[in-house]
Structure 1
Amino acid sequence: MRILLQRVTRAEVRIRGELPDDPVRVSGRIGDGYVLLVGFTHTDTSAELEWMTDKVLGLRLFPDEDQKLNHDLGANGGALLVVSQFTLYADVRKGRRPSFVDAAKPDLAVLLYNQFVRSLRERGMIVETGEFGARMDVELVNDGPVTIWLEREAPSPST
């Protein structure tokens, strides 16, 4: 599981229509908080989701009165905008076209995505989302800027 976390002062995700004249609609919008661009691989399980939930909610990325990063998202009263992004698993080591063989197939990825969002909400967080598999425009104001790469791989099976 991979997450690109960005601390923001505001963010929103808009869903484009299928045709050029189709209306664009806002799927999710937050003020202060984190935008989480989230990707899954085919070996991810509930263990990775729970670890990542704990990590995201425990990170102290908001400043205290001395401007030190000492407050977590909950203490700051922030929200989350969670957007699925399989391209986090792009492999560009060879050639010019990315390979996505390490990205989870959509049927598994949507289950993991929904479980991750549910886990965040169950911990009392305000969570807005994009739309899994849709063509989206994500607009954000990165605060700081603060951008953190998070990764949690499933343990290798013992041989």
Structure 2
Amino acid sequence: MSARVEVEKQVVGEIERGFVAFVGVTGEDTEANVAKVGQKILGLRIFDDPDGKFNFSLKDVSGSVLLISNFTLCGDARKGNRPSFTAAARPEVANPLFESLATLLSSQGIPVQKGVFGADMRVFVENDGPVTMILDF
């Protein structure tokens, strides 16, 4: 698994083995949500052991995290053909929580790379498995 993110054709973040976390922050999210998500990312065992079973965490495999802010994850497309993003937190609320997640992971010894908050980004992901999880707190 590897991934990178580009802004204006310049690589701003890149990892080899680890997680790509697309982070959508809602208006109801708090530091408590950040702590839960961070602890889940740290402890989630989705990397194969020698027997091919999900037994290893990020720390076990010396993995990294690529964090991508993505308000469209908060979109609601249940009505009409254009999604509503009213559940997404305003940038002045979302960005500090996004940065808090990066700080929490870094403080636990996880190498963290990030996209640029609010930027138009191109994200390239080579997914292993593919293994994809939704963590909603």
TM-score range, shorter chain: over 0.9
> Could you give the per-residue CA deviations for residues 50-100 of structure 1, whole angstroms, max 9, x where no partner exists?
011111110100111111100001101110000000000100011111100
Structure number, greater radius of gyration? 1
Q: RMSD over aligned Cα, in angstroms? A: 0.6
Q: How far, CA to CA, are the matches of 2:125 and 2:73 in structure 1? A: 18
Q: Distance in 2 between matches of 1:127 and 1:147?
A: 19
Q: Aligned residue for 1:14?
A: 6
Residue 36 of structure 2: which of 51, 64, 67 is its match? 51
Aligned letter for 1:113? Answer: F
Structure 1 runs, 4 residues or longer, greater than 4 Å off: none
**Which whole-Å CA distance do the structure 2 matches of 1:36 and 1:105 have between them?**
20
Match of 1:67 among 28, 52, 57: 52
Q: Which residues of structure 1 form unaligned runs of 5+?
A: 1-8, 17-23, 153-159
Hey, what's the Cα distance between the residues in 1 that align with 2:50 and 2:6? 35
Q: Matched residue of 1:150: which SS?
A: coil
- Aligned identity (percent) is 43
Unaligned runs of 5+ in 2: none
The CA deviation at 1:43 is: 1.4
Instruction: Please state which structure has a larger fraction of its residues in strand.
Output: 1
**Out of 126, 131, 135, which is 1:146 matched to?**
131
Q: Calculate the TM-score normalised by the size of structure 2.
A: 0.98
Q: Which residue number corresponds to residue 92 of structure 2?
A: 107
Paired residues, number: 137
